[in-house]
Structures are given as C-alpha cells and as structure tokens.
Chain A
C-alpha cells in the first residue's frame, strides 16, 4: 500500500492504513538503533531542516537522531537563533528555507496551524513536531507504537488521558489516533482543564479521574505547567498531586497489566508520583526509544520510502 502524503500535519488527516503502515515501518526501523553501527543509507543526500520555534530537547534530538540514522543531512535551527527574533515573518522564513532546497522541514511552533501554513507554501515535506495546542502527530504515533508493542493491538483498549487536556496537543493527537485505531479514550482532569467540545474528537469525559482510570489498559498522564496557576486553571501543585496526580492507589484501580505513559518531561511528585514513574507499569522510557523509530519511519515515508525518491 503506497504512502502518498507529502506532509504529516496531524493525525486526523491520516487514515487507519496510513497509521498502520507508519507503525509497521517504525517497527522495522527499531532494529537499526540496536546495531553497533546505527546507520543505514536510505536517505543519503536528503536534507532535513529541524525548525524549532519553541524550546524542545527531546523531540528535536529524536528527529535529529532519526535523520542521522537514515544518513540524511540534518540541520537544526532553534527559536533563539532564528530570524523570528529579528522580526522576520514565517512566510519570509519559509521562502528563505525553500530557496535552500531542503527535502523535509520538521517544524515545532507555538502557534496552532503554523505547519499547515508552511506546508501550503513549501515544496519540501513538512512534518509537524508539535504546533500550539493543536497536534503532535509523531508523539501520538510513538505512543500508539509503544502500546501496540505492549498489548499486541490497540483495538478495544481503554486509554485514560489525565491532566491539562485544554493545553495539550499530545492529548488531542492521541485521542484522535487511538480512537481511529479502535481504542476507547476516556479523559479526566480538573474541569478547568477540560476544553469545550472535546468529545467531538472521539473521547468521553469521565466524571472523576478514578472513573477514568478504573479498568484502564493504558494511563497517560500529562505534564502540568506552572504557568497554569496564573491562568486560574489550578490552585497549588500540592493539591493537584493529591486530587489529580497518579499514585499507587490510583494505579490499583486500573487493570493489573496497565501501562503508565507520559510524554515528558515529567514533574515528579506533581502529576505522577516518583515510585509510579519508575515502577513496573511505567513504559515512559520505551516511549522515548520508540520515538526515534517512529520519526525514522516518518522521514522515510514522506521521502518516498525509496519508492519515488526522485519525484518533486
């Protein structure tokens, strides 16, 4: 089955078959990272620009390693060194990038929709590495891969996503993705953090976090940002931890074989207790490992996967 997407902008625009192909491709990419020589020539001569308008360590490193392990040339531009600081518009930046003939632009941006904006104006493929509170497709795909590896399937699983849904692109993309693949997504958190109409993404909103976690196959905790205090979305971190944080008592509500996930970076002792983050159910580091494989798959597939590497 051919992969014909020029860009990876969100999960909503991927079909079930697209997602399966990406996950299967990532599965085969995993092995490359386990070799003594972690490099294959698949994307030799291709240029990947990592455009990070917003601070990010993990996602940027993950894309960078993915490009390098496929022998693409990658170059990273971050917010502080980019021309945004000098007042250049995204449109002008796009034109300048285009003039240097990259093959893929990986974009992280604080504003929702920025990757769409760029994709419509660039011949290069655009991969969204997280835009505002809209989407984070590579994160959702690596989460789906991680769960599929643990559970064998995504069909019929109960996925609890807990925390600041309103400000989470990870929650949105995972909700769309897991739902598309046949899982049931339940969300929970303080009512201040549940955005209006979230159920139109396919999720149900649980009346309490205990309800969300009960009999869950997967519990995904979201990072709490301290800036939310100023926006009146929460009171203290202490209270958050007690009422909405994941601890051993709450883990016990879930299925015995529940897996605990977190997109990172984690706030130990706030949304997740340290013993849970490091405990036997946690697959947080598997997520990171699979992240490289999924991003290798995305780069490989948007560049034609060797199939039509010379077009465009």
Chain B
C-alpha cells in the first residue's frame, strides 16, 4: 500500500516549510521531495492531490476520556477514535477514570484490544496512580507499563495526599512512566460549579477559585524539584498556574503542561443562562485568565494543547446546573479553534503544530514529524475551509459541545495513521 501526497505545504516545526511531495510506503514515510518530483507510477500508488492544503505531523491529544469500559453510552473506544480521526488526530491518551478504573493491567490490555479493533488512531492508555483513584494505594506501575500504559494519572480526581504524589513521581520514574497531574485542591474547590467571581455571585452558583488549581500546581512543581522527576500538569486554566509553571521552567525544574481549547477560547461568561455546556472542571475562567493561557501557549510555558474530550449523554447535561456533569467533547473542534489562534495572531502555524503534535509526542517520549523513516501519521489541513460546527453531525457519540453553531475556518480534511487513510472529509 502506497500513498503519494502531492504538492502539499509541509509544516513540520523545526524543519523547512514549503511545498513538497510525500510518499508513504507500508506505514512509513518513504520519501519527502520537492513538489512535483515524485511520480504517480504504478497502479498501487494512491495519489492525493494536496494543492492548497497543509501537511502536518499527525496531531496527538494527551488527554481524552473514551469512557470504555463502563460508560459506553457516552463514548466507546471506536466512536472516540472516529471523533479523533475526524479532528485530525492520529494518537490519543485515554484517561483512567473508566468503570472499572484502569488500575489493572487487564483493563489496560482491554483498552488496547478495543483500540486495535477500531484501528483508526493510536490509543495510549494512561493508567491510574492509585487503586480505584482513591488516593490510598499505589497501582502496579511496572505491570501497567508492561501492559502498555504510557503514563499514570488519577485524572478526574486530584492526588490530594502530597506524600502519595511524591512517591508516585519517584516510583513512576523507575518504570519510565510519565506522571500527569489533575491539579485541584478539593477543599478549596468545595462543591463549586463554576469560576469564583462576579458572574458566579450574580447567578448564585458556588465558585471555584483559581487558587484551587494553582496551589496544587505549585505543590507539584515543588515535588518535581524535590524528586528530580518531571511532572505534566493537565488542563491548566488559571493565570496563577501559568505564572508558576513559567517560573519553574526558568528555574530549570522539569515540568510540562497542557491547556484545552475552551480555556483559550471561552470565559466564564459562557455560563450565563445556566448553560451546562459551559460547565467543566477546572471551570472556564475570567478574561484575564484566558489571556494568560494564550500568552502561555505563545511563549511555550504551556507545551501542549489537549482537549480533555469528556463525552456525556444529553440526560447528564439537560439538568439543573449544579447537577450537570463536568466536561465537553473537544476532538472535532480542537484544531479549528487552534487555527483561530493562528488567525488572531496569537500563534504561528508552526507553533500551533508544535503544541498539538510535536510537544505531545516529546512528552510521551515519541518522535513526530514528516520525515523519511518516521511512522506515516500525518494530517492534511484545508486552512481555508469554512464550516459550521454541528453537534448532531459529530463522530463522537455525545453532543456536549458549547461550540455548536459556531462558524470556524480551517479543518482536517484527511487523516493518515500508520500509512492508512483513517478519515477523509466528505463535506
């Protein structure tokens, strides 16, 4: 099986940007040449004319919830993979808060089996730090790693116990597993439903202060310094967290961080009218926080954009705001919202691809790029394609997006994973 992509603009951060032809043979990139030099010889060579399109390394999402096993009514590994491929992603990291929790090698193996059966994107399971996400006992990191886990996290719940977090960092380093931290002080967050501030006060919703996140970011930075082990901070939402991470990096502490498209796109104002599609944890913050997130992405304080794709059924969102489930789906809107940052001059296209593909790969200890010998995981983007987001038409099994009805410009039109076309835009 060979695919020849002709005349695309190749955007591979750190490497020359320009038009070129790319030949894919048996799941690997076999040739990258100047535009118009590779010929479509032989019937087995499928040719993709990509004039006007951008060819980038396949996007990688460090943070998704695919809900399988246990909550297949929200999403399955198959439907999640379909959503990922449609969003231009070739790999995702699935969080362990499934039911049962991915705290056992058998669950990790099940996830990988289902992912292989779906065969659309690479699924990298993130296993739990503690048994049942309860914060009481370390999971078997060695066994989980052997079963295929790439990282550990208690995502969805914070590791409140500082000693457990310290030991998790140390223990994980012995197995070369990344530790991903959901930073939230549960006592400070209490039963909050949205960002603390004037909007919450007006609406009578209990607020979650920025400090509920930033104090834990600061703790984890201190623990990374103490142990010498790197920590990855999930879904950063607050300006104080960005500042703390920036300072830590300047001090040479080994910390990486991600934010999500909703934090650089929306603010707490989206909650007005008790819109449960604007309810997530951490919550949408103020405009000052949104600007800090954008600045953090621009200067590299925030390494990666991850979606925190969190599917929920309609019945879990069409309820009183306080009772509504946290989170939104994000795989099919992440790249277009990232391209909006490029259009607004916040990021260059190279930086966006760095944040959505190169850095996530680096954090996972992988290499991503459009270069000879690398796995053929690539995304073709039409930067000029205008489209209207239609929740009802999404690949994800769930519909919980605050971006329904938005008109966005630029999207993935073809996703190639392991040398196979796993998504082709039909519009």
Contacts and interface: CB of A to CB of B under 8 A. Distances in A.
A114 interface: yes
Given A113-B274, A117-B274, A200 B201 contact: yes
Contacts, number: 72
Interface string B165-206: 000000000000000000000000010000011111111111
A197 B205 CA distance: 13
A198 interface: yes
A90 B323 CA distance: 10
A133 B203 CA distance: 8
Nearest to B204: A134
A20 interface: no
Contacts of A200: 198, 201-202
B273 interface: yes
Interface string A106-145: 0001011110110000000000000111110000000000
B39 interface: no
Given A89-B315, A196-B207, A111 B320 contact: yes
Contact of A113 (B198, B199, B207, B320): B320
B203 A109 contact: no
A172 interface: yes
Given A196-B201, A196-B207, A116 B273 contact: yes
A198 B201 contact: yes
A229 interface: no
B317 to A, nearest CB: 11
A91 interface: yes
A132 B204 contact: yes
A91 B322 contact: no
B264 interface: no
A135 B203 CA distance: 8
A195 interface: yes
B89 interface: no
A89 B202 CA distance: 25
A131 B201 contact: no
B197 A197 contact: yes
A117 B320 contact: yes
A196 B200 CA distance: 8
B322 A196 contact: no
A86 B165 CA distance: 40
A201 interface: yes
B319 interface: yes
Contacts of A131: 204
Nearest to A169: B204
B9 to A, nearest CB: 47
Given A172-B202, A197-B202, A132 B322 contact: yes
Contact of A111 (B199, B201, B322): B322
Interface residues of A, number: 26
Contacts of A114: 320
B319 A90 contact: yes
B197 A112 contact: no
B201 A112 contact: no
Interface in A153-181: 166, 169, 172
Contacts of B206: 133
B26 interface: no
Contacts of A134: 203-205
B203 A112 contact: yes
A195 B200 CA distance: 9
A111 B320 CA distance: 7
B321 interface: yes
B191 to A, nearest CB: 10
Nearest to A114: B320
Given A90-B319, A111-B322, A135 B204 contact: yes
A90 B196 contact: no
A234 to B, nearest CB: 16
B202 A201 contact: yes
Interface in A209-229: none
Residue of A90, A132, A169, A201 contacting most chain B CB atoms (<10 Å) = A132
A90 B318 CA distance: 9
Nearest to A197: B198
A118 to B, nearest CB: 10
A198 to B, nearest CB: 5
A83 to B, nearest CB: 14
Contact of A201 (B190, B201, B320): B201
Q: Which 4 A-B pairs have the closest CB atoms?
A: A197-B198, A134-B204, A113-B274, A112-B204
10 contacts: A90-B319, A90-B320, A113-B204, A133-B204, A195-B201, A195-B207, A197-B202, A200-B198, A201-B202, A231-B190
Given A113-B274, A166-B201, 18 more contacts: A91-B315, A109-B320, A111-B320, A112-B204, A112-B274, A112-B321, A113-B321, A113-B322, A117-B320, A134-B204, A196-B197, A196-B200, A196-B207, A197-B197, A197-B199, A197-B200, A197-B201, A231-B190
Interface of B: 190, 196-207, 273-274, 315, 318-323
Interface of A: 12, 89-91, 109, 111-114, 116-117, 131-135, 166, 169, 172, 195-198, 200-201, 231
